[in-house]
Chain A
């Protein structure tokens, strides 16, 4: 396999884009990424589009041809990639393989989700399609509800307190203030979080990532094409992995760890030839506060049962041991589900380019983005390295 580089990134602001269609969001993100890459649009040979629910929310499928048409590049190889909330990460993985294999030299990975077109209950019904429709969705469990069971199991097993776990949301909001693309650029106190309405006990509203609309894109290319792009900062994909676990929680022995994360991380660290201590910037999939805590443990930054301590002791802050979700994470940057994996990559690469403004980690060299589908049924991990 040959080396693959990030030539350009682009993204729309995450919000309720009432006046913009799903296809227009895709085109906007792609235009920005292509402009950022300095590579001519016509050079793109393939597109992989991460999306979870365009079929049920927009009544729209066949996003590959739709994108190629509206982008004015019909003829390219293009298709949708779906892995629930990990669709973006999975699309990136496909795009990475497409270039690494030597089949294509220049490929675009996209992620898009437009959730404001549907009513809240319908979005909730669409999200639970990430689990078994016949035996999990059938019970009336919501996606928040499944994560609430994980929350309970974690608190019971490790004696952790909600007031410590919920700090993850406070953290994300603090950093989103400086991110122009973030959906909620305002701070919340721990008290605000703990007093917000219950959604699925014990999870409260301000512990949940919001629904929103957005699209993000990354242009990937071979070394040869990168010369044409003539980018000031050279960023290579140091690792790209994807792993699965048993789909439903009740079939797993331990609810407090996502084995797909452990599996994908093990492979990714090996592929990038690094250990967790080499990571300068971390993006984790904190769809709920409890998940942020569990990810810190599963990725090797804390012992099991102690992820919340990293948060409480300020170690995931700018200047901490492992600066995490410095652009707002899922909670505050936003979580347009199928687009999230690409937004995380956008944020990670922004740090490596040194363009994160007030939230910039000094001299960031290695960034890791972890994207989760369902309750850990799929996990995508991508590691990026700035090449000197």
Chain B
């Protein structure tokens, strides 16, 4: 019932999501994900678009055991905050892991994966997940 189903909203964010595009503030020097035209920290409007590094380390994670209704079929799954090599932080699913054998601080790399389906007739949403780097 409660879903943010919409084809246009998936379509319009596709480049940022698929290519991991962030912003780097020319004023305060901070970078962030996803890209936006105005720096969320200092308010500067001088932000350049950057392709973020695809490797980093897992800072914190949790295992989602009681998911929102549109993720029910995938639970349990891991969601964590990854700090990329340039210091940018990204919230994403951590994949290819056994939930209770995961450790904070592990090195991870970006992979392109399916996130969710918008019902039987809707589109399938893809994005970047991270997996431990071997």
A199 contacts B81, C-beta separation under 8 Å: no
Interface digits, A176-206 against B, CB 8 Å rule (1 contact, 0 not)? 0000000000000000000001111111000
Q: How far, in Å, is A336 (CB) from chain B's closest CB?
A: 17
- Give the docked Cα–Cα distance between A210 and B41 (Å): 33
Hey, which chain B residues are within 8 Å of A62, CB to CB?
none
Q: Chain A interface secondary structure, helix, strand, loop or mixed?
A: helix
Q: How far, in Å, is B22 (CB) from chain A's closest CB?
A: 11
A138 contacts B127, C-beta separation under 8 Å: yes
Interface digits, A212-249 against B, CB 8 Å rule (1 contact, 0 not)? 00000000000000000000000000000000001011
A140 contacts B64, C-beta separation under 8 Å: yes
Q: How far, in Å, is A124 (CB) from chain B's closest CB?
A: 4
Most buried by B among A120, A125, A139: A139
**How many residues of B are in contact with the other chain, CB < 8 A?**
42
B77 contacts A140, C-beta separation under 8 Å: yes
Number of residue pairs A-B, CB distance < 8 angstroms: 115
Q: How far, in Å, is A21 (CB) from chain B's closest CB?
A: 18
Hey, which chain A residues are within 8 Å of B62, CB to CB?
145, 148-149, 152, 200-203
Interface digits, A245-285 against B, CB 8 Å rule (1 contact, 0 not)? 01011110001000000000000000000000000000000
- B80-124 residues with Cβ-Cβ distance < 8 A to A are 80-81, 89-93, 99, 104, 115-116
B69 contacts A125, C-beta separation under 8 Å: yes
**How many residues of A are in contact with the other chain, CB < 8 A?**
42
Q: Which 7 A-B pairs have the closest CB atoms?
A: A121-B69, A125-B68, A148-B62, A140-B71, A125-B2, A250-B89, A152-B60
Binding site for B on A (CB under 8 A): 56-57, 118-122, 124-126, 128-129, 133-142, 144-145, 148-149, 152-153, 156, 197-203, 246, 248-251, 255
